[in-house]
Amino acid sequence: MERFTDKVVLITGGGSGLGRATAVRVASEGAKLALVDVSEKGLADSQAAVLEAVPGAEVLTVLADVSSEDDVARYVSATVERFGRIDAFFNNAGIEGKQNLTERFGADEFDKVVSINLRGVFLGLEKVLGVMRSQGDGGAVVNTASVGGIRGVGNQSGYAAAKHGVVGLTRNSAVEYGEFGIRVNAIAPGAIWTPMVEASMRQIDAENPEKAAEQFIQINPTKRYGKADEIASVVAFLLSDDATYVNAAVVPIDGGQSAKY
């Protein structure tokens, strides 16, 4: 089944982890891709991964910072210039930021995390929803929130504020754009094994990140990390016409972890 034949799918944070896995997944179902990231190497590696899985896939890569208004305008116009339209948008780029108690979190770190994880998501919505509405035939957006956007995890002031904010932006835009056939949903992943989570374990225990990783997962009902592919399959569903009546949803993909908090 090719749910994305002739569809243009734009993915931020496309140079690693969840963005790359989703790129491979939707390309394997026929999508034309625009991948956005601040990492040139990440973009090149993702493009190679897509082409290995789907020889001949059409992949545009755009080096851009999602927290910059000019860069967001540039990645949106580059996508429209190359492919003529945007059907689906995985608004996903993000960073974890430093882990610390609120009293030591620091305003600069807070601003940095919020700037990428919240402002970046808003800017993407602002520009892409305008394009989708002018196309006049609907569209689908998935924003990446987190378990940290629906529950208190701790040591994550910036991340928690931003990801809870992403849930708010999702509901707000979903309510506004439903009448245009444009659906806006969010995912709330739990602990998914990507470079971001590996780095997070080094923050928790620089000496023994493997032990920290092992302990961290014990709170999860499945006692294991999720795989990026297990996120990609849900994102592909939400972006596809299999989910035409799913709007304003925040879907946990966490092995049940958020039910335990």
Q: Alpha carbon of 99 to those of 84, 153, 157: distances in Å?
A: 42, 11, 8
Taking CB under 6 A as the binding criterion, the range among 52-60, 132-140, 191-199, 233-241 that sits at the site for ligand NAD is 191-199
Q: Do residues 95 and 114 lie in contact, with contact meaning Cβ atoms separated by under 8 Å?
A: no
Distance CA 16, CA 24 (A): 11
Question: Quick one: which of 8, 10, 26, 42 contacts ligand NAD (CB under 6 A)?
Answer: 42
Distance CA 223, CA 53 (A): 30
Please confirm, yes or no, whether 159 is among the known catalytic residues: yes
Distance CA 18, CA 16 (A): 6
Taking CB under 6 A as the binding criterion, the range among 99-107, 131-139, 192-200, 204-212 that sits at the site for ligand NAD is 192-200
How many residues contact ligand NAD, by CB under 6 A? 29
Distance CA 166, CA 149 (A): 7
Residues 18-37 that bind ligand NAD (CB under 6 A): 18-19, 37
Q: x/- site string to ligand NAD, residues 127 to 166, per CB under 6 A?
A: -----------------x-x--------------------
197 touches ligand NAD (CB under 6 A): yes
Question: Quick one: which of 160, 184, 192, 251 contacts ligand NAD (CB under 6 A)?
Answer: 192
Residue 175 beta carbon to ligand NAD: minimum distance, rounded to whole angstroms:
22
Distance CA 184, CA 187 (A): 10
Residue 166 beta carbon to ligand NAD: minimum distance, rounded to whole angstroms:
8
* Residue 17 falls in which region: left (phi positive, over 0), alpha (psi -120 to 50) or beta: left
* Strand extents, DSSP E, 115-224: 139-144, 182-189
Q: x/- site string to ligand NAD, residues 98 to 117, per CB under 6 A?
A: ------------------x-
CA 7 to chain centre: 18
Taking CB under 6 A as the binding criterion, the range among 11-19, 47-55, 103-111, 244-252 that sits at the site for ligand NAD is 11-19
The DSSP 8-state label assigned to residue 179 in this structure reads G
Taking CB under 6 A as the binding criterion, the range among 7-15, 131-139, 178-186, 238-246 that sits at the site for ligand NAD is 7-15
Residue located via tokens 């948008």: 89
Distance CA 196, CA 39 (A): 14
Residue 159 beta carbon to ligand NAD: minimum distance, rounded to whole angstroms:
7
Bridge partners of 90, per DSSP, are 11, 142
Active site residues: 159
Q: Which spans of this chain sit near ligand NAD (rule: CB under 6 A)?
A: 12-13, 15-19, 37-39, 42, 65-67, 92-95, 116, 120, 144, 146, 189, 191-192, 194-197
